[in-house]
Amino acid sequence: MPNLIIHLRHTDDGRIKATLASDHGSHEFHAEQAAFDSLLQKTTALTESFEGGKRPLADPVTLSDLGHLLKDTLLGTLWDHMQQEIGSADGTLLISSSAPALLNLPWELLPSPSSGFLVADGRWAIRRTTRETLATPNLCQVALPLRILFAACAPIDQKGLDYEREEEAMLRLAAKLGNKVHLSIAEAATFDELRNLISELKPHVVHLSGHGVVQDGIGYFTFEDERGCSDLRDARSMAEQLFANRGVRLVFVSGCQSAQAASAGVCQTLTAAGHVPVALGWGASVADGLATDFASVFYHELAAGRPVDASVATARRDLFGKAHSTVGDAVYFDATFILPQVFAADATDDFIDQSKPFEKVAQVGVRYELLGDGVVGLKEGFVGRRRLLQRLRPGLRDADFHVLLLTGMGGAGKSTLATRLANRCQQEGFHVVVLKASRKNADSFALRLAQEIGFACQRLGKTGDYEMLNDGKQPLTNRLRLAVEVLKESRILLVLDNLEDLMPLPPAAPRWASEELAGFFESLFGSLTGEGRCILTCRYVPEGFEATQPGRVHEPLPDFSEAEFIKCLTRDMRVVERMAAGEISREFLTLLHRKIGGTPRFIKQAADVLAAAEIEKLQQQLESAPDAEGDDALNALREKYLENIFIPELYQALIPEHRLALSRLALVELPLPIDGLAYIGGLNQAAANAAASAMLARGLLQQLGEDAHEALLYAVYPLQRSFLVHPDRLPSAAATEAHQAAAAFLESCIKTDRGTELRLHFMAELLACRQHAEAGGDHERLEWASVSMAWHLYRAEEFKTAAALLEPLADVTAGPYTLKILADALQSLSEWPRARGLYLQAMPRFEAIGDRAGEAATWHQLATIDVNEGNYAAAREKFGRALEISQAIGDNTVETGTLHQLASVELREGDYAAAREKFGRVLEMRQAINDRAGESATLHQLASIELREGDYEAAREKFGRSLEIKQATGDRAGQAATWHNLATIDVNVGDYAAARKKFGRSLEIEQAIGNRAGEAVSWHSLATIELNEGNYAAARQKFGRVLKMLQDMGDTAGEAATWHQLGTVELSEGDYAAAREKFSRSLGIKQAIGDRAGEAATLAQTATIDVKEGNYAAAREKLGHALEIVQSIGDRAGELSVWHNLATIDLNEVNYAAARDKFGRALEMRQAIGDRAGEATTLAQIGFVAWENGRRETGIRLQAIAYLLLKAIGKVEKQVPWKNVTVMASELNLDQAGFDDMMQDAMQQYQKDQGRGLIEMAYEGL
């Protein structure tokens, strides 16, 4: 290969030299220029007749004569040497010339030695080259599948080509060849896209469909730019930038003039430098249909392992077989068969090695069908929408708009367009979040919306935003408001499909189904800017959307025009055959379009009906139907025809077994794999395969999943469901069986982790399982699915939703897990009595099934309720039971958690020694199992004990160890929290510069991970430093910033705390009215949300204003109320603070006995819990009482003890008692020795009895 080579060149004497080279020697012939000119004139007339895009019909005798003239003129005596080889074997004829006029001659017209044309029977192939000889192939043979990259280029400023037909023919061909071909499609048809795809996909064949032109002797191919206009690229640039060193074996160029051998013709230039071994193209314009037919046969042969030349020869023979055409009495011959031309750089021919194992192919880019969450885009029938892509894609990418609304009736291609846009955006770096609305699940859509955007934040590393969006303790309205803020700051594309299901059915106004959704979309439509984008699909314009707003685009998807409608229908060969036979007229198709219109989904089903229906009957029905006016009427009429005419025709064509299986399958909205179709349809595997084929052939089933790595899924078209599940077709008993089968199948999928295969989130699988179990009366699976869903909702802190899911199941038959998880949710909602009752019901049921771990967990939760209610003794007893069981069964996780909780109880009670001992055991257990995160958390708790005791160095050391672990494990949120605590130590010791630096580190991390709540806390702490330093304006500015952040997030507890601090700023500046107003705001919020500790703290601050204004009775009343609260909730720190404040009022009223009693209580409690700073404050206060009442020796010693305590724990407040001590010493005329003796005596008194003796002396006689 090749068998025969003909070299052609112009000689210096004005003639043309033809040299024949073969295995039998070399021969020459010289042609005269005049004869060649005459030949060229005739062949040019033939090729010019192809330029109009019509079939080149010619008289067969004339074509034969032209072939003989070509032979006689340029080959002459060489033909005698060629005939014997041509007639005795198959082979390849190589035409070699550097002269375009010689190379572009129609060599395919050469005659056969017997009769007809040389290429007619497919035995001989013809190649062209600009080289003297073909080089030896330098690329090895490849394994299947044959990788084809297809790009259809049809710029809007060029004459249109039916590139969609060729694309769909190739898709059908790829499906027919199965795993022998892997077809990828460049959707945008741009030069840059093709270059990237060639690099990523490494295709064997690149097929370019479009316009090739020759301008000024240079060959160009016309790509599209991103807006759909012409982008001409010369063939040399294509060869160097697209194909050099890319391993492409063949380029197929289908278009006008694309294989003309002009000085730099496209195919000639592609092969001239050796960058492409073989290029196949058309010599002139050709009707699109024949180009498609040729490509279909060619790829079929090539994928079957046949050589390139043989594949081209077979495809050409197929064209030759369609060449005869009759017009009246005259017989014409279609010369299209001469147009496919092969150019070669080397001898590459057989590049498929079928003995090699199949290779795994790269997967890039666009999915045609399933975007996610059940959002389906059609694979076929997407005609005319490319222009929308070219208009919308750059706008989305470049932020010309942020919200895109696609509207249109069902089947109009909204989901398909959204899918294609989304996949393009994903390639450009957007994280795509997809949700499909469903009327059945409309109530949960708002929750899913917040969660899915949260999951996107998690993938982006924004853990703070993820936690807040999934924080079930926050109102959903606030989380959705935050979701919009997240979209503004994140490169997220939100795709919301089928939104009409979130609104009432027409004719009601398109209002959102809930206040949460209404608020979200109002915020989305009104404020989305920045990084995020949103695509919405809906049958009509929803409430609140105004296309006149900046950054908002509404794109209605109209029905296809009549031309597009017929173009789609004629892609179905069954329809084409009936049209050719005169059974379907153009007038009938015009009537069909006028009456019912055309959307991709409808056209597909209409084609299935037209393939076999009685056209006359359909025409009568259409003629009697009124014309539809408006989209709603058209859609209603279309659905009527689908349900009353088209679907019944198709349905009845199925065998009864398949009809019943289809009706059973129609109950399931989720796409299913073939084994799911079998199980739910009540079929065995072989019957299911046959049923799927029959349903697909009639357009009654969608097949999803075109990529080789994706399993095929099947789904019933939504518009067909009501017909298929009607009781006439699906009896009640069969429907119940189908629901039960669906629930069982989905349960199996969940337990075997098939979510990736189904392209579904596991919560969507669980929800569907639950719905089918409920519809089928399968209580056991209903409870299993509900418990599984509730557990995940509980983990996501969606406590109300989890409780609502399980409430209907909490009866005498409920299992222990149902009762426990419901109780867990209620406990988290502070509904402790109900939770306790459910735990007590669950306990014997765990015992009955021998689930000791369940028992331990239930005792643990009952103990937690006791803790919440302040009943620490009962909590300790129940935690003890849980600990005993967990130790007995070796459940280290529960044991560790219970010990941790016991330690926390003791920490609340102020028993720091006991808490430290248990946290120490927990630390050892977590270190033993290498639980680094748990180790860090326990170190954090131990450091908190040191912090409360005022041992800042020990606290700093443990926080430092915790920080090291968090840095090693990448726990950035934990790092921020620890930096915050370390900064708090600096605040306590008065090192505000160091504190600012550490708070800054914390703030930097919180902002990087998107933790708005943590960021607000850091700003709050920085503001507190300003307050402590007396920088009230700066403090007010920072607290104001915090307040705005918390209000945007809906953090009402944080808002209340910030109002409290703003009130403290006003109090410090002496503006008591402003302070009272802000404290009142804080108090109102705290009371509304049940923050009792916060309520007590704000009451105490408000009482401080009363004290400063001299209204002791009002202050005492507020402090009395605060005392009741802190005692009821077991807040010992809060209680001692209130006793201290009450004692201060007694002092102001000179009621020393009462003050002595209250200070004594506060001091005793502070010493018990190790609050050394508070102890110092109380001792200093009593010291003032003693000094003012003449007991100066006692007073100075109590002030000295206060100083020494604060100095020991590094508190900056030590400066106050130090100043008092020095002033008092001066008034007592103490010299240095006397001062030192006094300080030593004070410390000895404290060490002896913690200062009790001095306190007695201070109050003596008062």
DSSP-derived secondary structure for 663-704: HHHTT--S-B-HHHHHHHHT--HHHHHHHHHHHHHTT-SEEE
- In degrees, to the nearest 5, what angle opens at C-alpha 980 toward C-alphas 799 and 955? 105
Distance CA 688, CA 305 (A): 32
Rg (CA), the chain: 42
Backbone φ, ψ for residue 556 (5° rounding): -70, 140
Distance CA 1099, CA 1092 (A): 10
Residue-level pLDDT at 471: 76
Residues 517-535: pLDDT tens digits? 999 999 999 889 999 999 9
How are beta strands 492-497 and 533-538 bridged, if at all? Answer: parallel
Pick the CATH number of 146-344 from 3.40.50.2020, 3.40.50.1460, 3.40.190.170, 3.40.190.10: 3.40.50.1460
CATH 3.40.50.1460 residue window(s) in the chain: 146-344
The CATH class of the 370-558 domain is: alpha beta
Distance CA 1162, CA 145 (A): 83
**Of 694, 714, 596, 708, the residue nearest 650 (C-alpha):** 694
Residue-level pLDDT at 552: 93
Residue-level pLDDT at 1256: 85
Residue-level pLDDT at 286: 44
Distance CA 951, CA 946 (A): 5
Distance CA 1262, CA 1260 (A): 6
Class of residue 1007 by CB neighbours under 10 A (exposed 0-12, middle 13-18, buried 19+): middle
Residue-level pLDDT at 844: 94
- CB-based contact 280:266 (threshold 8 Å): no
**Of 1125, 340, 479, the residue nearest 800 (C-alpha):** 479
Residue-level pLDDT at 373: 62
Class of residue 457 by CB neighbours under 10 A (exposed 0-12, middle 13-18, buried 19+): buried
Residues of the chain whose pLDDT is less than 50? 1, 257-264, 284-287, 364-369, 378-381
* Number of residues assigned to the chain: 1262
- CB-based contact 1132:1099 (threshold 8 Å): no
- CB-based contact 1010:465 (threshold 8 Å): yes
Q: Which helix (H) or strand (E) holds 493?
A: strand 492-497
Residue-level pLDDT at 477: 85
- In degrees, to the nearest 5, what angle opens at C-alpha 511 toward C-alphas 509 and 517? 175
CATH 1.10.10 residue window(s) in the chain: 654-777
Q: What is the CATH number of domain 654-777?
A: 1.10.10
Distance CA 516, CA 522 (A): 10
Class of residue 790 by CB neighbours under 10 A (exposed 0-12, middle 13-18, buried 19+): buried
Residue-level pLDDT at 238: 93
**Of 291, 256, 50, the residue nearest 166 (C-alpha):** 291
Distance CA 44, CA 65 (A): 15
CATH 3.40.50.300 residue window(s) in the chain: 370-558
């044309």: which residue's tokens?
117
- pTM tops 0.75: no
Please list the residues that pair with 117 across neighbouring strands.
111
Six-digit token string for 602: 């409808």
Please list the residues that pair with 531 across neighbouring strands.
none
Cα dist from 911 to 902, 904, 951, 1167, whole Å: 11, 10, 16, 11
The SS3 call for residue 970 is: coil
Cα dist from 826 to 16, 100, 790, 831, 912, whole Å: 97, 85, 12, 5, 31
- CB-based contact 1027:1018 (threshold 8 Å): no
CB neighbourhood size of 287 (10 A):
16
Backbone φ, ψ for residue 496 (5° rounding): -115, 115
**Of 922, 858, 917, the residue nearest 896 (C-alpha):** 922
Residue-level pLDDT at 296: 82
Six-digit token string for 35: 């004869």
